[in-house]
A and B are shown apart, each in its own frame.
Chain A
């Protein structure tokens, strides 16, 4: 059974701090990795995708991928209360375009 694991949280950080979200996956053949943000009762929306080892930055967000250790992380700099949401990690499996999702980490940013 292929798996994607995330700490469910909540992860509480003060406004302006760096939030660090982590995800591990079991399928060594996975090549495509995604971070989605989901507000309560809403649909997931893409934050970032990453395909190569290393860091990828987009504004306040940085995704980090380490295929050897099978983990992917998301850093959110200068966290804002509007970043409070559940963050879903998704990974392709079985060398296909099917995605498997983690259960998500709930982030709370307090003023």
Chain B
């Protein structure tokens, strides 16, 4: 089984709809991240969580919210989807660092289309 899973893998929705993307991990990592990827813009950080009680905004948090339900689960919500939120969304996890930043491991991604 995959260490980091995302559901759904593909979603088409309409403008104004609320949508939730879910991420689960079995790696036992404390840290979880949500990114979006757009052609030509690379991966951009939306939100991150260093433990269950710690939620932080990333580079592009407007229009998004998150919930860290447990160490293993981190959900991303679009309260009212708009077409420019059409993108590929990735969840990632990492262990608590030692001296250096730990590697981030990515889920398979969710392709979201907002019509």
Contacts and interface: CB of A to CB of B under 8 A. Distances in A.
A52 B81 CA distance: 43
A90 B43 CA distance: 10
B103 interface: yes
Interface in B17-56: 31, 40-45, 48, 50
> Which of the four size classes fits the interface of chain B?
20 to 34
Interface of A: 8, 31-32, 34, 41-46, 49, 51, 88, 90, 92, 96-104
Interface of B: 31, 40-45, 48, 50, 58, 88, 90, 94, 97, 99-109
Given A97-B101, A101-B44, 19 more contacts: A32-B101, A34-B104, A43-B109, A44-B90, A45-B106, A46-B103, A51-B100, A90-B104, A92-B100, A97-B31, A97-B50, A97-B94, A98-B58, A99-B101, A100-B45, A101-B42, A101-B43, A102-B42, A103-B42
